[in-house]
Structure 1
């Protein structure tokens, strides 16, 4: 009976704790709302971030999770700020294409504009901290409860029950 009770309580805690931990730890891996990802046409794109052609700076039609078209528009940016980023991309691409230094320059321009957004306008990147803490708590509770059941089982076994 003790084993059935332990399995019914401990396994779900460990399972859900592991799932929450995995989600929380992997949340920060995705590009943020102000991240530009330079890729090649036909590359797979994630659900977040702005995907632009690495050589021209033009928005990409992406494959992955369905086909989607990227645009050069960022959350909280005014039309003038989005135009500023587009114009900066066009200026950098005039000499025949974009290189790694141009990619960094574009990201720096976007970061500069995003840092100046008023509070409440800027969209923050998801950190996954809450999910990580929930997962750690559930997994810890499962391990603690499991060790208690194991201790009790060994005591009963030694006593001959």
Structure 2
């Protein structure tokens, strides 16, 4: 009976460990996306693979359609939580400054405008803002599960191995 309960406890610990590791990985991906959501990607070509919400072409300031396969981009600025007027303001500034190409100073000016608008975005409208647990919270929850699983498995093995 002791062996059966020990095996059941180890199996439970293994499942908790697997779910914990998965939570850490998902939380890391969510946090990385949330951290980059309002960072403008300035690219010289049409290569947009960094995970930004907005990419601008450095040659002319045009908005690049960088969407997942099978999804069509709008060709317009659409940042999460921004109003239509804020999106339009960013797009117009990028077009105006990008007529002769976007210099580093002009890129900073566009990023500064985006950063200024981010301050007005309510937390609930930001990426993962309405989620109960996301990003850093999910990472800590996952790490807690991993530690609990390891302690539980170690304790169970210790109890099962103890002579009577």
State the TM-score, normalizing by the size of structure 1. Answer: 0.77
Larger radius of gyration: 1
Give the count of matched residue pairs.
154
* Kept after mapping to 1: 8 A contact 2:90/2:110: yes
The answer to whether residue 29 in structure 2 is matched with residue 60 in structure 1 is: no
CA–CA distance in structure 2, aligned partners of residues 89 and 114 of structure 1: 17
Residue matched to 2:7: 4
Range that drifts further, 32-41 or 147-156: 32-41
Deviation at 1:106, TM superposition (A): 0.6
Structure 2 residues not aligned, in runs of 5+: 129-133
2:95 maps to 90
Which residue of structure 2 aligns with residue 22 of structure 1? Answer: 25
Q: Is the 8 A contact 1:61 1:67 kept in 2?
A: no
- Relative to 1, partners in 2 of residues 1:108 and 1:36: Cα closer, same or farther, differing over 3 Å? same
CA RMSD of aligned residues (A): 2.7
Q: TM-score, normalised by structure 2?
A: 0.75
Please name the residue that 2:105 is paired with: 101
Matches within 5 A, 1:120-135: 123-126=125-128, 128-135=135-142
Task: Indicate the residue corresponding to 2:156 in structure 1.
Answer: 149
Gaps of 5+ in 1: none
**8 A Cα contact 2:30 2:135, kept in partner:** yes
Question: In structure 2, what is the Cα distance between the partners aligned to 1:125 and 1:76?
Answer: 8
Determine which of 99, 114, 119 is the counterpart of 1:110. 114
The answer (yes or no) to whether the contact 2:57–2:64 under 8 Å persists in 1 is: yes
The 3 A distance-change label for structure 1 pair 142 and 14 is: same
The whole-number CA distance in structure 2 between the counterparts of 1:83 and 1:63 is 19
Compared with structure 1, are the counterparts of its residues 47 and 25 closer, same or farther at alpha carbon in structure 2 (3 Å cutoff)?
A: closer
Q: CA–CA distance in 2 between the matches of 1:134 and 1:10?
A: 15
List per-residue Cα deviations over 1:45-67 (Å, max 9, x = no partner).
46651122232221113364445
Match of 2:131 in 1: none
